[in-house]
Amino acid sequence: MNCLDLNEIRLFVQVARAGHFAVAARRLHMPTNTLSRRIRQLETALKTRLLHRSTRKLALTPSGQAFFDRCAPAVDDLLAAAQQLADGSGVPQGPIRVAAPAGFLELLRLDWIAEFIAGHPRVAVDFVLDDARNDLIADGIDVAFRAGATPGASYAVLRTLVAQPFRLYASPRYVAARGAPRRVADLAVHDCLIASPRAGRATWRLQGPAGHEEVAVAGRFGANNVHVLLQAAIAGLGVALLPAILALGDVDAGRLVALLPAHWRDGADLQVVVPSRHQVPPGVTAFIDFAEAKLRATLTPTR
């Protein structure tokens, strides 16, 4: 059997119901001769006659009646499903799979997520939290929040939300015991939490009122994970150079204090990434808008 054209089956169902090519053609908004030709093509593909044609009306052949009885309910179901989808296409609905760094829900708080879900009862949110960068298409990700662009990726950066400068932080306990640095050079005599632990030493390059400054720092604790460095700073192990948006909640809670607030190091911007800009689902757009409003209101840094 030749490959069937499902649209021709839809046309056949309409013709059978109308009982006349001209009537069906008017309902379908297409020329009568085109409609007749499409039905003949379907009969050719099926290798059977579906309609008895006369100048006055049409009648189904036995094969045509059997084919109509099997196909008409399926065609109706497909058309109803398409109409339902079209009618609800502007309503946020369905699951939203979100990829983000491991500590992202420390920024986009769970009570905010609860607020979003309560306001969108037809939406479900599924988070994939991992510092590794997911393959959006292979992992079925609808939207990802990432620090900086993905080199060579074909994904679309939909928006840039907030800049992520790095700033200096320590716990109140550490500051009480060791004092706070008054200038960048003072960091050389402090215990500093090093992002690359192999050598135990690093050079921090900071921007401030006097321009760029560098200082060689050392410490007895290091880790290659920024969230571990955050917890180490809270524990009083030393001074950490952390993304400002990551430390904000702990500063507000009194677990960290900002040091040398006029100095920072540039970091990667927080970006919203989607598999494609084409026809982003309304639920995904609603979630991005919601997250952007919350993050911009609380995380926009000052310099």
Write out the two tokens for 197: 């632990």
Distance CA 214, CA 167 (A): 14
Structural domains in the chain plus CATH codes: 6-87 (1.10.10.10), 94-160+271-299 (3.40.190.10), 166-259 (3.40.190.290)
Evaluate if residue 87 carries a pLDDT over 60.
no
CB 269 within 8 A of CB 164: yes
| Burial category of 279 from C-beta neighbours within 10 Å (exposed 0-12, middle 13-18, buried 19 and up) | exposed
Buried b (16+ CB within 10 A) or exposed e, 170-190: bbeebbeeeebbeebeebeeb
Mean pLDDT of 251-279: 87
Strands 143-147 and 123-129: unpaired
Q: At 168, which helix (H) or strand (E)?
A: strand 166-170
Name residue 97's beta-bridge partners. Answer: 126
Q: How far apart are the first and last CA of the chain?
A: 71
Q: What percent of the chain has pLDDT over 90?
A: 45
Quickly state the pLDDT bin for 20 (edges 50, 70, 90). confident
Using alpha carbons, select from 260, 238, 265 the residue that is nearest to residue 182. Answer: 260
pLDDT digits (tens, 9 = 90+) for 141-190: 899 988 765 554 556 777 777 777 899 999 999 999 999 999 999 999 99
Q: In this predicted structure, what is the pLDDT of residue 302?
A: 46
Report yes or no: 133 and 150 within 8 Å, Cβ to Cβ.
yes
- pLDDT of residue 29 exceeding 60, the answer is yes
What is the pLDDT at residue 26? 87
Q: What is the DSSP string of 85-141?
A: HHHTTTS--EEEEEEE-TTGGGTS-HHHHHHHHHH-TTEEEEEEE-SS---TTTTT-
- pLDDT given at position 195: 85
Q: How far apart are CA 95 and CA 117, in angstroms?
A: 11
**What are the respective helix, strand and coil percentages of the chain, to the nearest 5?**
40, 25, 35
Q: In this predicted model, which residue has the larger pLDDT, 80 or 206?
A: 206
Name the pLDDT band for 132 (thresholds 50, 70, 90).
Answer: confident
Most confident of 167-171, 209-213, 275-279: 167-171
Orientation of helix 6-18 relative to helix 62-87, angle to 10°: 110
As a whole number of angstroms, the distance between CA 138 and CA 140 comes to 6
pLDDT at 113: 95
Q: Does residue 200 register a pLDDT over 70?
A: no
Higher-confidence position of 14 and 161: 14
Model confidence, pTM: 0.56
Q: Which two tokens stand for residue 205?
A: 């390059």
Cα separation, 195 vs 131, in Å, equals 15
For the residues 106-118, what does the mean pLDDT come to? 90
